[in-house]
Amino acid sequence: MTMSDYAPMFLAKLKALFVQRRDESAFDEEIDVHLEMLTEKYERQGLSAPEALRAARRQFGNTTLLKQRQRESRTTMFFADTWQDVRYGTRQLAKTPVFTIVCVLTLALGVGANTAVFSVMHAVLIKMLPVEDASHVFYLHTTGFPKNISQTGDPATSFSYPIYRSLRERSDLQEVLTFIPMSTSGKVAVRVGVAPEEATGDMVGGNYFRGLGVGTELGRGFTQKDEDDHAPVVVISESFWTTRFARSLDVLGKTLYIKSIPFSIVGVAAKRFEGTEGKLPVDFWIPLQSRPEFNAWGAPADEGIYLTEPRLWAMKLMVRTAPGVSREQAQAQAQAVFERAAYTGIAPKRAGDPTYQLSLREAKQFDSQDGTFARSLRILMTMVGLVLLIAMCNVVMLLMARNARRQREFSVRLALGAGRKEIARQLLAAGRTCRHARSL
């Protein structure tokens, strides 16, 4: 058979799997008609009816065998055999429930732990933010800050308003985006109707959604005017929209009270976008606000507002680099602007003070502050990997012990004519069934 004949052959067999029953009855009919015609032929030649029938049967051959052969060659016997093995394996496992349960649980534990840790690892170390062209978006980090300033307790990611403005106005970065948590926990009191609740919110620049390339499900994102006017408008997340507004289409224009101040809902952010805070999914975003009760991180206003107090470093920054500009080039440009802006409005840099270095960090789902979190995750992953290995060893030993006990049974089956291949295949099928039970 040439190569080109395998394709129609396989397709025919595959098709036959599904139309098997119909095919079989059609084939039975075909054989019956043939036999009838053959019988008639013999009757015409002068045989009596029973004789003719016998002669026809003799001439035709063994119909049962033929039907069986027909079935075998019509479908690939492989499927039927596999199914048989699976059933056999299931029966074997059902006969020894304790063994089965132990195996299934051991494997389930090992695999479950691995899956859980891997999903966390994926989210933290690998997954990028769901923004447009994430490879050009970076978190901005600094190695330090001048003396006498107050910041958020997160020294690497805190910047002052003058730095934000300077980077936006004087650098060649395509976009400089800011986002500020509403409180140290991220959560603030909000109210949709009458019932107060807590929600996670960020104050962001007017270019936040446009700069990240995050669209909206409904309504609009922010504009520069929203930022300049500190407009009382709010964009909510898709999940907040789902849980609090049941995805109602007339959510736009409704009022969300944040710290008792009314904000008008103007948009619903694109699905899957949950802000840039990493650990905490953000429920809503408002433009940068100037009211004292909306000071950055919910800080008391008596030490100054983040917008006007250059000694308060409280803004988190992200940048989008222009196309064709490398990360290093962008970093160097930003560094020059940063060095000047860092001392705007505060005591100038003194001789001997270190120069603080900016760095651009990839826009992963989680802003990697430093390697410790990642490192501990990797250790955890290794550990659960070992757990899985131990679990598998356990199961293997259990299976081996059991098969050793079944030596006698195997001898009998070999003696009865089972091929070694068949026995191995059946054992494999039993193992497979065990694994599938676990994954259920």
Partner 1 sequence: MATDKSEVLQGTLDLMILKTLQALGPLHGFGIARRIEQLSEDVLTLNEGTVYTSLLRLQQKSWIGSEWGVSDNNRRARFYSITKRGLKQLTVETENWERIAAVIGRVLALEATN
Using rule CB under 8 A, residue 69 touches partner 1:
yes
Residue among 270, 240, 232, 234 nearest 252 (CA) = 234
CA distance 85 to 116: 32
CB of 7 to partner 1, least distance (A): 9
What Å distances lie between residue 342 and 211, 306, 311, CA to CA? 23, 14, 9
3 state DSSP class of 361:
strand
Contacts with 295 (C-beta within 8 Å, 6 or more apart), sequence order = 301, 305, 306
Using rule CB under 8 A, residue 77 touches partner 1:
no
Token digits of residue 9: 């052959």
Contacts with 120 (C-beta within 8 Å, 6 or more apart), sequence order = 377
CB of 53 to partner 1, least distance (A): 14
Contact 165, 337 (CB under 8 A): no
Looking at beta carbons only, is 66 or 428 nearer to partner 1? 66
How far apart are the two ends of the chain, measured CA to CA in Å?
A: 42
Kindly write out the interface string for residues 26-65 of this chain, putting x where it contacts partner 1 by CB under 8 A and - elsewhere: xx-xxx-xx-xxx-x------------------xxxxx--
Query: What count of Cα atoms within 13 Å lies in the side-chain half-sphere of residue 213?
Result: 14
Using rule CB under 8 A, residue 14 touches partner 1:
no
Using rule CB under 8 A, residue 172 touches partner 1:
no
Strands 255-258 and 261-269: what pairing? antiparallel
Residue among 313, 322, 381, 307 nearest 343 (CA) = 313
Looking at beta carbons only, is 55 or 121 nearer to partner 1? 55
Looking at beta carbons only, is 13 or 170 nearer to partner 1? 13
Looking at beta carbons only, is 26 or 322 nearer to partner 1? 26
Using rule CB under 8 A, residue 66 touches partner 1:
yes
CB of 31 to partner 1, least distance (A): 7
Looking at beta carbons only, is 10 or 172 nearer to partner 1? 10
Using rule CB under 8 A, residue 9 touches partner 1:
yes
Using rule CB under 8 A, residue 68 touches partner 1:
no
CB of 99 to partner 1, least distance (A): 41
Looking at beta carbons only, is 38 or 360 nearer to partner 1? 38
Residue of 3, 8, 302, 328 that binds partner 1 (CB under 8 A) = 8
3 state DSSP class of 384:
helix
CB of 423 to partner 1, least distance (A): 23
Looking at beta carbons only, is 40 or 293 nearer to partner 1? 40
CB of 47 to partner 1, least distance (A): 17
Residue among 276, 229, 236 nearest 256 (CA) = 236
CB of 66 to partner 1, least distance (A): 4
**What is the DSSP code (8-state) at residue 345?**
T
Residue of 19, 48, 49, 73 that binds partner 1 (CB under 8 A) = 73
Looking at beta carbons only, is 36 or 198 nearer to partner 1? 36
Residues numbered 394-433 forming contacts with partner 1, rule: CB under 8 A: none
CB of 26 to partner 1, least distance (A): 7
Looking at beta carbons only, is 74 or 168 nearer to partner 1? 74
Contact 120, 127 (CB under 8 A): no
Q: Which stretch binds partner 1 (CB under 8 A): 23-31, 205-213, 214-222, 314-322?
A: 23-31
3 state DSSP class of 249:
helix
Using rule CB under 8 A, residue 74 touches partner 1:
yes
Contact 181, 297 (CB under 8 A): yes
Strands 284-287 and 196-204: what pairing? parallel
CB of 60 to partner 1, least distance (A): 5
Bridge partner residues of 233 (DSSP): 264
CB of 81 to partner 1, least distance (A): 19
Q: What are phi and psi of 344, to 5 degrees?
A: -60, 125
Residue among 176, 180, 186 nearest 138 (CA) = 176
Other Cβ atoms within 10 Å of 21 Cβ, number:
8
Residues that bind partner 1 (CB under 8 A): 1, 5, 8-9, 12-13, 26-27, 29-31, 33-34, 36-38, 40, 59-63, 66, 69-70, 73-74
